[in-house]
């Protein structure tokens, strides 16, 4: 999968709605990209999307996870002036919201609006010193209250809108790179494995509800009971104001290190990367990683798990920025790790 197709996939799927618990809006499009590469593609009752490569081969059963859900909002109240009050669905920072275009996911279809706040000229000096809260914001859809109440209900999901942008030096920015860029890396790996007759049964799973606790990864791991798990997510990329050990170069794949990660899997990933020219850097995780790897590690009796991450700048904003080549290299490393383990599987042990 070349850089142009990676960028096209990311542009397509980041434009589609898929907040936690409501991923059907993006699920079908991801499935279309996987079908030419997989032996089988299916969805479970939690909207996890599975694409199996190598279904009839002997060897390890591998689950590769990258979540398809995005952070979003939910309508919490309809005011008498027709504006909508909102609450978060996932880790939304109120600071990024003023001026943002949104789509309210109503039963009759999307209703477009903008997120507003009290103008700074009308704030008191004391208010200007306070941190912005969700209570200070509202969605304006342009309708009077009676028209809004005829279309919108409390509990309707609100999706943030922002176009993806190609930037200089192979960079791309936009919303929902976390974590649909990692789904793109899974496509790269699936294509490579489908071309190489690797003796492994690999399930690429676009998981749901990671942003609120990795519900999808947990259920998928119980369903498949794999021999090992590889999770792909994003991490913080070096940028203005970032310090040492809290952010990583955007041109390197990070390999997680810590109690959430199986040591031999980590070693294989690092060695394989060196052997094949994939630039990596260690990401030290002193506790749980707050990714799908937390659930794959402990589900179904415990599954040896590896976490690879794509560094991006400005996480959980509408301008998450990454390098497309790092997406491709992440996928390439996944395929190489699976192939190495699969070809050594007879007699393989974790310790």
Burial environment of residue 49 by CB neighbours within 10 A (0 to 12, 13 to 18, 19 or more): buried
Structure tokens at 203: 């399930």
Token pair of 90 as six digits: 């996932």
> What number of residues does the chain have?
351
Measured CA to CA, the distance from residue 62 to residue 79 in angstroms comes to 50
H helices of 95-167, in order, are 125-128, 145-151
Determine the Cα–Cα distance for residues 4 and 23; give it in Å rounded to an integer.
25
**Would the CA dihedral through 338, 340, 343, 345 be positive or negative?**
negative
DSSP labels, 182-217: HHHHHHHHHHHHHHHT-S-EEEEEEES-GGGT-HHH
346 sits in which H/E element: none
Tokens of 200: 């492994």
203, 52 contact by CB (below 8 A): yes
> C-alpha angle 326/293/46, rounded to 5°?
100
Alpha carbon distance 343, 54 (integer Å)? 14
d(C-alpha 238, C-alpha 173), whole Å: 15
Active-site entry in 47, 210, 211, 295: 210
> Taking the CA of residue 159 as centre, how many other CA atoms within 13 Å lie in the half-sphere pointing to its CB?
26
Of 120, 163, 161, 158, the residue nearest 139 (C-alpha): 158
Structure tokens at 144: 């009077």
Does 210 participate in catalysis according to the annotation? yes
Helix or strand or coil: residue 237? strand
Catalytic positions, please? 210
């Amino acid at each position: 999968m070349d850089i142009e197709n990676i960028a096209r996939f990311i542009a397509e799927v980041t434009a589609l709605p898929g907040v936690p618990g409501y991923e059907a809006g993006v699920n079908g499009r991801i499935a279309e990209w996987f079908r030419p590469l997989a032996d089988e593609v299916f969805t479970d009752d939690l909207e996890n999307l599975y694409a199996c490569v190598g279904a009839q081969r002997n060897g390890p059963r591998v689950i590769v996870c990258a979540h398809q859900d995005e952070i979003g909002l939910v309508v919490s109240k309809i005011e008498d002036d027709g504006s909508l009050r909102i609450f978060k669905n996932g880790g939304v920072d109120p600071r990024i919201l003023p001026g943002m275009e949104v789509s309210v996911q109503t039963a009759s279809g999307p209703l477009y609006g903008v997120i507003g706040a009290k103008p700074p000229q009308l704030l008191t000096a004391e208010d200007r010193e306070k941190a912005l809260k969700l209570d200070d914001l509202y969605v304006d859809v342009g309708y009077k209250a009676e028209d809004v109440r005829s279309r919108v209900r409390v509990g309707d999901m609100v999706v943030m809108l922002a176009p993806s942008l190609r930037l200089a030096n192979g960079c791309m920015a936009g919303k929902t790179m976390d974590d649909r860029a990692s789904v793109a890396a899974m496509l790269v790996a699936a294509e490579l494995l489908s071309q190489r007759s690797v003796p492994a049964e690999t399930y690429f799973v676009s998981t749901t509800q990671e942003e609120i606790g990795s519900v999808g990864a947990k259920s998928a791991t119980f369903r498949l009971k794999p021999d090992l798990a590889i999770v792909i997510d994003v991490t913080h990329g070096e940028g203005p104001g970032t310090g040492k050990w809290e952010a990583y170069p955007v041109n390197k794949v990070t390999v997680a290190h810590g109690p959430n990660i199986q040591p031999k899997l980590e070693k294989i990933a690092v060695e394989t990367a060196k052997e094949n020219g994939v630039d990596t850097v260690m990401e030290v995780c002193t506790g749980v990683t707050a990714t799908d790897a937390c659930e794959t590690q402990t589900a179904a009796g415990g599954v040896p798990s590896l976490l690879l991450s794509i560094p991006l700048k400005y996480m959980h904003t509408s301008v998450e920025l990454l390098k497309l080549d790092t997406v491709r290299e992440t996928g390439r490393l996944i395929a190489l790790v699976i192939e190495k383990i699969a070809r050594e599987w007879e007699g393989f042990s974790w310790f």
